[in-house]
């Protein structure tokens, strides 16, 4: 995209480079803009809808806005599985926009990429991912691999080598006895590193495609079970939205608020109770369920099921224990 960047530096590019990502994306995307020298002001946060999915029309509007200022929009990060809501940006719609304006499409599937292994759940969530120029995927998240196990995939073969190779012949000799295609040393930024991929290879050999698919399907089944139980106890729990993956967002409703009509004021009260209930969980030592606000809501609970060792009985215990600990709030 910018062939002189490696040797001549960013100053040779005529115009300010600008990247785009969802306002629900992982903070590391914005951090990348800082590390790469673009500046965080040039990482444009695209509005998302109420489910946390990037709005394609807003993306195109912001691209055009920056172009009229003489900037160079070059990169869009599409999130497949946001951290909080577990939302999947519409890849095909975003890919169409990237193609129209000649921009690089990256899909951050670090969280949701594991669903590619499930025939039942991969579509429509990840439909169009094959159109991406690059994809990140972290098996240590949804697939149960041990930390650290992260992968990045490129459509163009040899791109990492051309971008990062420094031809340090005293380390990366070309006449070794083994196949040097498997030597990652000259493809990446760091030199020495752990062989993080071995644990995934071993795990895949043990489970196979079918085993991983069963793992993904089981996590989604448990999530659907939890949603069902929350709906059955609608006096005690309020489901914020139907989840796209294993992120279940909800409020616990204490006894004193159960007959109060739902409203923004009630949400504020429910949000205030999240830290108190979380503290009780920690003090009791029985549960750990995260909470956080977003740009539309005060604090709410976000339960994640990422282990196939979890059972329906565990889900029942979680909800019952929250009610026991929070009933008098």
**Mean pLDDT, the chain, as a whole number?**
93
Q: Indicate where the chain has its CATH 3.40.640.10 domain(s).
A: 5-200
Which 3 state secondary structure label does DSSP give 293?
coil
| CA–CA gap between residue 135 and residue 108 (Å, rounded) | 6
Which run of H or of E encompasses 314? helix 312-326
**pLDDT the model gives residue 85:** 96
**pLDDT the model gives residue 13:** 86
The pTM of this model reads 0.92
**pLDDT the model gives residue 164:** 76
Cβ 325 vs Cβ 301: under 8 Å? no
| CA–CA gap between residue 243 and residue 257 (Å, rounded) | 24
Each residue of 96-119: pLDDT tens digit? 999 999 999 999 999 999 999 999
DSSP letter assigned to residue 11: G
Of 192 and 200, the one with more pLDDT = 200
Please give the share of the chain, as a percent, with pLDDT higher than 90: 80
Neighbours of 145 (CB within 10 A): 20
Fold of 208-326: 3.90.1150
Q: Indicate where the chain has its CATH 3.90.1150.170 domain(s).
A: 208-326
**pLDDT the model gives residue 180:** 73
Cβ 101 vs Cβ 72: under 8 Å? no
Residue 151 confidence class, pLDDT cut points 50, 70, 90: very high
Closest CA to 43 of 75, 14, 68: 75
Residue 1 confidence class, pLDDT cut points 50, 70, 90: confident
DSSP letter assigned to residue 40: G
> Could you confirm whether domain 5-200 is CATH 2.40.50.500?
no
Residue 266 confidence class, pLDDT cut points 50, 70, 90: very high
């Amino acid at each position: 995209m910018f062939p002189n960047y490696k040797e001549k530096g960013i100053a040779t590019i005529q115009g300010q480079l600008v990247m785009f990502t969802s306002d629900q994306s992982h903070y590391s995307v914005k951090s990348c803009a800082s590390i790469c020298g673009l500046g965080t002001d040039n990482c444009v946060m695209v509005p998302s809808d109420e489910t946390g999915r990037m709005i394609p029309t807003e993306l195109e509007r912001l691209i055009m806005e920056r172009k009229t200022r003489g900037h160079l929009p070059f990169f869009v990060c599409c999130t497949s599985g946001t951290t909080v809501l577990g939302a999947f940006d519409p890849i095909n719609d975003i890919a169409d926009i990237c193609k129209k304006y000649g921009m690089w499409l990256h899909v951050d599937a670090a969280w949701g990429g594991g669903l590619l292994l499930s025939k039942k759940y991969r579509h429509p969530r990840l439909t169009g991912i094959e159109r991406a120029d690059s994809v990140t995927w972290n098996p240590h998240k949804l697939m149960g691999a041990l930390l650290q196990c992260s992968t990045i995939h490129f459509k163009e073969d040899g791109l990492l080598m051309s971008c990062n190779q420094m031809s340090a012949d005293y380390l990366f000799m070309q006449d070794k006895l083994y196949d040097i295609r498997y030597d990652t040393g000259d493809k990446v930024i760091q030199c020495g590193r752990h062989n993080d991929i071995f644990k995934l290879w071993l795990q895949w050999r043990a489970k196979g495609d079918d085993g991983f698919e069963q793992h993904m399907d089981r996590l989604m089944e448990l999530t659907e079970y939890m949603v069902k139980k929350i709906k059955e106890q609608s006096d005690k729990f309020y489901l914020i939205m139907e989840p796209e993956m294993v992120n279940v967002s909800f409020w616990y409703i204490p006894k004193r608020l159960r007959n109060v009509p739902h409203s923004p004021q009630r949400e504020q009260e429910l949000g205030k109770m999240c830290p108190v209930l979380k503290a009780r969980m920690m003090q009791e030592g029985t549960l750990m369920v995260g909470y956080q606000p977003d740009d539309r809501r005060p604090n709410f609970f976000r339960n994640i099921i990422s282990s196939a060792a979890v059972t329906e009985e565990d889900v029942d215990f979680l909800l019952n224990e929250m009610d026991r600990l929070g009933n008098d709030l």
